[in-house]
Amino acid sequence: MAVKKSQLYSSLWASCDKLRGGMDASQYKDYILTLLFIKYVSDKYKDDPYGAIAIPKGASFEDLVALKGDKNIGEKIDILIAKLAEANNLTGIIDNAHFNDEAKIGKGDEMVDKLTDLIAIFQKPDLNFKNNRAADDDLIGDAYEYLMKNFATASGKSKGQFYTPAEVSRILATVINISKCKNRKATIYDPACGSGSLLIRAANEAPFPLAIYGQEKDISTAGLAKMNLVLHNKASGEIFADSTFSNPGYKDDNDDTKLRKFDYIVANPPFSMKNWMDGLKEYGRFDDYDEMPPEKNGDYAWLLHIIKSMKNNTGKAAVILPHGVLFRGNAEESIRKNIIDRHLIKGIIGLPANLFYGTGIPACIIVLDKENTANRSGIFMIDASHGFIKDGDKNRLREQDIYKIVTIFNSMTEVSGFSRFVPFAEIIEKNAYNLNIPRYIDSSEKEDLQSIEAHLYGGIPQEDIDNIPHFWNLFPNLKKQMFGEYSKGFYKLLINKDDIHKTICENAEFLKYNKKVNEEFEEWKKFANPILTNLKSTDSNKQVILKLSEEIISKFAKFELLDKYDVYQVLLAYWNEIMNDDVLLIIYDELGYALAKDTYEIKEEPKETKKKKKSSKKEEKPKEPKVIGWEGRLIPKQVVLDTFFINEQKEIQDEETILRQTESELEEFVETNSDDEGYLRDYIKADGKMEQKKITSRISILKKEKKTNKEEYIILSKYSEYDKAVKAQDKKITGLKKSLDENCRKRYDTFTDEEIKNLLVNRKWYKAIQDGIQNLYITVANHLTKRIAELCERYENTLPELTLQLEKQEEIVFEHLNTMGFRI
């Protein structure tokens, strides 16, 4: 059965918990990823004589499992990995994590237990890749990417450089137009490839497999990159482990004093590298320039290495560098002039600050293109520095930010405050080769100027109201309803300030426009229905979302109030979180849509118990995790409840209302009768609970006594009645819930094909997306309300009025001071 990515991810990340404590994330990533690699290649290639990876006898994951509990488990794992590495010419690549390292793993039983538990996690059925039907192995490759991102986050600022955020990688991969490649012999190269994520994402954009080359100085990180290639079904890709400047791994086949040239290059080199000249061998990198890059800053050294490695007349590249390369002087200025004069720069994209794990400084993407340089008349620039979302202590590009950047860049569309084609004449003559983006694009927010006249005499400046974007062209009657003339050039609010939001939302024009939004969504659904109700094993999830997203952008492009990129974000955010998993399950599981009949149990891990000393007695089997609930694999339980069990849910809600009322009465009764003279005070325990047994016993005694204290008997009996009523009601509700739960689960078995598609497509997918778009529309009303209220409050009191109020307050203060004996 297919597994959801989210389930796979959580299992893998849980494995990391076994290693925490003895090492940090920058170290334990090597162990986790090595085990993932062994598990994957064993499942995929064992007993396959033509597999991309050879699995020698004694070096499979099953052989790892056989080592569980072995007192020499660490040493034997190292031997097993060395055998696998040797058989595939991967020595020094996949055997960098030493499982027999007592300083990191622990000694004796600690090492045995830790490694045994670690192997057990990778034994889970969820991690069985033997029957993986995905043509491009996205599941395992994306799982690797997920782990790399988490390792980079956990490693901290100084150790996360091995990973380029996937969102940035996607931009680089797209802006070099690798998707339009027609040369089946084309090559792609990354001279600072880290874990290989950027290189792989770029290669995935090509319409057919490319020859892949990467270089990484750090040996263990180079090993991660090689494993990453294998896990992404690109085992033929080459990774060279050494310094790019002192020993470049790829030289010209006919002249080893020159660098090899590539069709496509992507790179995210370390920023402002200070030791780049250590052992430097030039290989002609600097032949075309009057000056060398600065000795203590390697930014331009990387740029010139990339330019020299691009194929003449056709090579294309995209490199991430700090903003300083755009405007710094001295030697860098001289080199920059040379590059600009040769028309090598096609575009520059300014990115938000704090995107990368190794640094918080803002960076840019420089897009280089040696094709058609003679006809290039300028540089296309984008300022995307304001489009991001906070993600923990880092910033992250949203789906809408990525889409906006790549579509506008590739179409060279000019958007005010965001993008512009800048002629070389303006760069050279007006700005002396300075490429700092703010010189060419003003993306700053306009200052909110205030009116002195309005502060003096009252009213709201017409200009402030009239300049609220788009609204009044669409809703002219709403404007008339809300504003009247105060004086020439100034408005007054005709309604109560507290009624602004209500007036907007109930306005006929506003409601009519919302109806148009819903109608457009219905049109999009007509396009999406044939795709989402006929998913097949031959379909590609990537093509599905590409079609759906392009259509939703097209449908909402004409709406002035709803930003089409915001609508795109609603769809893509839901796709990434939920829908992609669902589509993959339908495509890759043999049951297809029928998988919706299946449910899975939510289990709670058993609590850890102290280990008992070893004895000759037979050890007890570990306890199974406790089942705490269940969910539908494709269709959530709540969707089924809301569709088929509305009355039953209503009955439970009504009974819960009765229970809350009875509990409230009981609480009030206890409070009334538990003061110093109350009959219930002696039955309240330290934790606030009542001692019911003592109360029952006292009632029995009072019944038998000849001189019954009637008041005490009545109070205790009344409490007992309340308590019984609460318990009876609670039991009733528990029974109703249990019955509903059982009936709901049984209902899954009876789903027809039509019901499945209705529940999944209409009631789950479409409803979530439509709710998201409706929230955007509600936000429009909120923004308009906020701006109008802000302007009203700004000019609510004129300066003379405020001065008069101040004078009155001063008089009151002086009177108080005089009364107190002070003379002012």
Structure tokens at 244: 């790019």
Q: Do 414 and 383 meet the contact criterion of CB atoms below 8 Å apart?
A: no
Predicted model pTM: 0.82
Instruction: Tell me what pLDDT residue 136 has.
Output: 42
Can you give the pLDDT at residue 132? 53
Strands 363-369 and 378-383, by their bridges, are unpaired
Alpha helix (H) ranges present in 413-563?
424-425, 452-457, 462-466, 471-474, 476-482, 500-506, 508-532, 541-556
pLDDT tens digits, one per residue of 217-271: 988 888 888 888 887 888 899 999 999 999 999 999 899 889 999 999 999 999 9
Element (H, E) at 734: helix 710-749
CA distance 685 to 691: 7
Structure-block tokens of residue 229: 């290639």
**Whole-Å CA distances, 510 to 507, 520, 567:** 5, 16, 18
Residue pair 351/385 in contact (Cβ under 8 Å)? The answer is: yes
Angle, alpha carbons 485-486-490 (nearest 5°):
85
Helix (H) or strand (E) holding 244: none
C-alpha dist (Å) from residue 66 to 59, 62, 355: 11, 6, 43
Contact 148, 30 (CB under 8 A): no
Give, in order, the Cα–Cα distances in Å from 773 to each of 66, 564, 584.
53, 10, 24
Give the strand pairing for 187-190 and 211-216: parallel
Handedness of CA 627, 10, 138, 544 (dihedral sign): positive
Nearest-angstrom CA–CA distance, 307 and 199:
17
Q: How is residue 390 written in tokens?
A: 């906070």
766-772's contacts with Cβ under 8 Å and 24+ in sequence apart are 766/525, 766/528, 768/574, 768/578, 769/521, 769/570, 769/571, 769/574, 770/518, 770/521, 772/570, 772/571, 772/573, 772/574
Cβ–Cβ < 8 Å for 197, 229: no
Q: Which residues of the chain have pLDDT under 70?
A: 1-8, 10-28, 126-127, 130-145, 148-149, 151-163, 358, 469, 605-624, 706-708, 824
Chain centre distance of CA 359: 19
Give the per-residue pLDDT at 81.
94
Helices and strands: H and E segment counts in the chain: 30, 16
DSSP state letter for 277:
T
Report yes or no: 148 and 140 within 8 Å, Cβ to Cβ. no
Both tokens of 368, joined, read 């280089």
Q: Cα 438 to the chain's mean position, in Å?
A: 29
Strand order in the sheet with 264-267: 238-241, 211-216, 187-190, 264-267, 316-322, 363-369, 345-350, 378-383, 419-423
Gap between the Cα atoms of 816 and 820, Å rounded: 6
Neighbour-count burial of 411, counting CB atoms closer than 10 A to its CB (0-12 exposed, 13-18 middle, 19+ buried): exposed
CA angle 813, 814, 820 (to 5 degrees): 95
- Specify burial of residue 765 (Cβ count, 10 A radius: 0-12, 13-18, 19+): buried
